[in-house]
Each structure stands twice: as structure tokens, then as C-alpha cells.
Amino acid sequence: MFDHAAFAGHESVHHFHDREAGLRAIIAIHSTRRGPAAGGCRMWKYASSDAALTDALRLSQGMSYKNAMADLPLGGGKAVIIGDSHTEKSPELFRAFGDAVNSLAGRYWTAEDVGVSPTDMAFAAERTKYVAGLAEGAAASGDPSPVTARGVFLGVKACARQAWGDDDLSGRKVAVQGVGHVGGRVCELLAEAGATLVITDVHSDLLRSVAKATGASVVEPDAIYDQDVDIFSPNALGAILNPETLARLSCRIIAGGANNQLATPDIGDQLAERGLIYAPDYVINGGGIINVASEISGVFDADWVEQKLQRLIVTLSEVLAQAATESRGANRVADEIARRRIGEVG
């Protein structure tokens, strides 16, 4: 474990197995220096247990940085459940997951992520109070993905200001990878702003629905990298910016809600060398965790969430400006700021 390439100094990593419920889960806690670790639960049919562990570790570290960049009193953690979210869900599985979360006695707060819904989290909440993103309850606000999507949209506009001097997206062509809870709403906001969309997803029903609502063109998943566009917006899974895909991209801006978009940090350096503007994922997609943080406080405050979201976009703009001035990857700039903020507390 300690020699794992993605270990990154995690405080603890927990494996849970409930044979009767079918639960195989990993909860990674990267840091609690700013407060209890917080991050969503992802359910995915991983190719191997090591792939699940790698994802949990990388996502957990990303949550530490995300929470720091959003200036939240939270550390970073993440949960992954190994399984097919379309065929292997059950109330018993999520109740068992709730027991797992509860065993950590408040060191980790969970919410929904890819493959997990507020309904699933409600079953977990039967067994633990350390759940956010619920549809019902004293501080509940439901699925945080719309706030994530709004933050991504505002972040795209911030990138446009950096690239072209204004944030008018009318007539801009955007390739959107992934049109689920976050990506689908991003598409709607972009279309409302006058952008022309090219979209893809592995789920054809989602594609048809979003295309009908936004007038978007549809391409096969692998073809999304080859589109001649102004903006590429990844809103699916991670590591999609790698040597193979980087060579195929034809855009000025990369800005989307997916986590861990860079396969390796040096990809950010290569983006900067090519003159591409890259919005570090854990900065631009921080809207959802801001929403969750308000729930965790015990009293949901929509005005506080909006103020924090607006401040986050200012932080993103500052990162982009510094990266341009220093001619280096925006991810390097953001990493330094995040590490400094984590180190300043505790």
C-alpha cells in the first residue's frame, strides 16, 4: 500500500466486504487537516480491485485539493463500490455501505458520485448520519450535480475570458464528452448561451435526449477527440488527457467536470506548451462539494453556496492568469496553492 503509485501520503485506506449484501468497497481518506474528509461515493465495474484502489486514492487526493481550493473546512476522502451500477444495486448493498461509513465515526462524509443517486444514499443514511446529497432531511438539498454543472459552465466562461478577452460563448463550438447528471446540464447551459455542441456518451438514450434538447450533433465516443472545436469539455471519467488523445485534440480550451482528467501531471505541462488553456478539474468542478459542505454544516444556505461558487471561479481565473504569466501548467499552479492551503491548517 505505502509503495502504491497513487498513495500520496494518505492518512488511511479502508476496505469493506459484506458478502451477504454483495458489498466490496474502498474508502480512502487522504487528509483531515482542514476538517473531516468529504467526497462522494462512486459505483463502477472496475476491471480489477487494483484499478478500484487506484481510482479511490486519486479521487481522494483530488478531494483534498478540491476542498482546499473552494476554501471549505473539509479534508479529502472518496469511496468506491466495485460493481455494475445498472445491475448490481440493492437497498441492502447501500445499507451495508452506510455501516461502513458509520464505522469511521465521522472522519469521512459521503455523498453521491458516478453511478450513485440520492435514492441510494437514502438507504446508506438509514445506518449513518454522515451522508449528504439527500433529497429529504433538515439540511437536505438533493443531488449536488446541478451546482457542479453551473460551476463548470461559469468556469468555461472564465476560460473564454482568458483566451479571447470576453466570455461570450455564442457561436463557439464545444465538444462535450459525457452527458450524464453534470455533462447533460452543462450542455443545456452552453446551448442557452448560444454555443454549438458536439456530444458523445456511452449511453445512447442520454445522447438522444440531450441532443434533442440542445440541438447538438452526436458522434461516437472515440471520435470526440477529433472534433475541430473551440472548447473541449470532458465530463465523464478520468485520465482522458493522455499522450494518445492529446495529439488528436484541436481546441483552445479544455474545461469540464470530470475528475482526474490528466493521466499524469506532465500532460498539463504539454498543454501549456501548446498554448491550450486548461481548467484544473478539481477547481472548476468544485460546485457540488460546496453544496455538500453547506449540508454538512447542518443548515443548508443557498446564498452561502452561491457566494462560495462565485469565489471559486475567481480563484480559477487567478490560477489561469498565473499559469499564463509563468508559462507553465495550470495544474502545477493549482497544486501548489492547494498544498499550501492544506498545510496552513492543523
List the one residue out of 288, 328, 329 whose CA is nearest residue 70.
288
Q: Are 290 and 305 in contact (CB under 8 A)?
A: yes
Residue 205 in 3-state DSSP?
Answer: helix
Question: Catalytic: which of 66, 78, 157, 308?
Answer: 78
Residue 15 in 3-state DSSP?
Answer: strand
Q: Are 280 and 312 in contact (CB under 8 A)?
A: no
Q: Which residue has the cell 464505522?
A: 103
The Cα diameter of the chain in Å comes to 58
List the one residue out of 55, 151, 68, 8 whose CA is nearest residue 334.
68
C-alpha cell at 61: 487526493
Q: Which residue has the cell 460546496?
A: 290
User: Phi/psi of residue 100, each to 5°?
Assistant: -60, -45
DSSP state of 83: S
173 is catalytic: no
User: Phi/psi of residue 15, each to 5°?
Assistant: -110, 135
Residue 217, phi-psi category: left (phi > 0), alpha (psi -120 to 50), beta (remainder) = beta
Q: Residues near 244 by Cβ (< 8 Å), separated by ≥ 6?
A: none
Within its chain, how far is the Cα of 147 from the centroid?
12
Question: What does DSSP say about strands 23-31 and 253-254: parallel, antiparallel, or unpaired?
Answer: unpaired
Amino acid type, 171: G
Q: Which residue has the cell 483530488?
A: 62
Query: For residues 109 and 296, what is the distance between their CA atoms, to the nearest angstrom?
Result: 8
* Residues recognised as catalytic: 78
